Amino acid sequence: MRYHCVLTIGEGAHSHYFWNYPFDDIVNKIIIPYVNRQIIPVKYKKIRGILNLSSVSYLRVYKTDTYLDINSAKEFQKQIEDGKLAGNDCSQEILDTVMDGRLHTATKSTLQNQFAITEKQVFVIMKFDDAILNSAYEGVIKPIVKKHKYKPIRIDDIQDSGKITDQIIEEISKSEVVIADLSGERPNCYYEAGFAHAIGKEIILTIRKNTPIHFDLSAHRFIEWGTENELRKGLDLRFKSIKKR
């Protein structure tokens, strides 16, 4: 079986085709980079270049029983453009394969997290064993999140015997917004914030004043707070900004 991918660029003025990929290659070399909005090498009219997949508005995958040579690929392309190959379209099949868990573990976890159905909830990443942060969560974060019609959730709110790391990844994946408070400089909080960023979540970064900001996050906009009222005002403004977009 051979798989062929059509990427529609922008508003549909141009399409780019990939021919004759095995299943694992079409997933790992095209679909995962597309979901992650990466840059990939391409060849167009015999000229090599790169394609920024964030500019791709639409992706379809087709399959054939046999390898397509140059002439048959041209004919196949023409039929795609004429809308005559619906029976060869396997985009839904690939999505079902991902969601049913019939892929290798690394590929499955990447795509399942990307394709997770989002819920109207905000996952909160923060240090637990801190009286000031716990007070901020209960007295500020939860009320503000609820005010903006989201469900607030922190991992200690979940009564489940499953593996905590897996639960955190799952909850981040299905949350519309993630709040990451990096006060306390906990490595796990940085890891979780990095994961949320990697899968394209809307992230609100907060930190207590005079707390060091590690790695490359210093270039990102933080709500720096010293009092709960400062945190309340900062979160309220950020949620209003999100709603306007």
Question: Percent of the chain scored above 70 by pLDDT?
Answer: 85
> What per-residue confidence (pLDDT) applies to 88?
87
Check residues 50 and 142 and name the one with the higher pLDDT. Answer: 142
Q: How far apart are CA 64 and CA 70, in angstroms?
A: 14
The model's pLDDT over 182-199, given as tens digits with 9 standing for 90+, comes to 998 898 999 899 888 877
Query: What's the rounded mean pLDDT across residues 71-95?
Result: 84
Give me the mean pLDDT over the 49-78 stretch: 88
Where does the pLDDT of residue 139 fall: very low under 50, low under 70, confident under 90, or very high at 90 and above? very high
Is residue 105 over pLDDT 70?
no
Six-digit token string for 114: 């990307």
pLDDT band at 23 (very low <50, low <70, confident <90, very high): confident
Q: Residue 110 has what pLDDT? A: 58
- The CATH class given to the 119-244 domain equals alpha beta
Which H/E stretch holds residue 94?
helix 91-100
pLDDT of residue 14: 79
pTM of the entire structure? Answer: 0.62
What is the pLDDT, as a whole number, of residue 12?
61
> Between β-strands 56-64 and 2-9, what pairing exists: parallel, antiparallel or unpaired?
antiparallel
pLDDT band (50, 70, 90) for residue 100: low
d(CA 163, CA 166): 5
Which has more pLDDT, 237 or 157? 237
pLDDT category at 130 given cuts 50, 70, 90 is very high
Torsion of CA 229, 232, 238, 239, to 10 degrees: -160
pLDDT band at 127 (very low <50, low <70, confident <90, very high): very high
pLDDT score, position 55: 83
pLDDT at res. 32: 77
Domain boundaries, the chain: 2-115, 119-244
Residues 61 and 72 sit within 8 Å (Cβ to Cβ): no
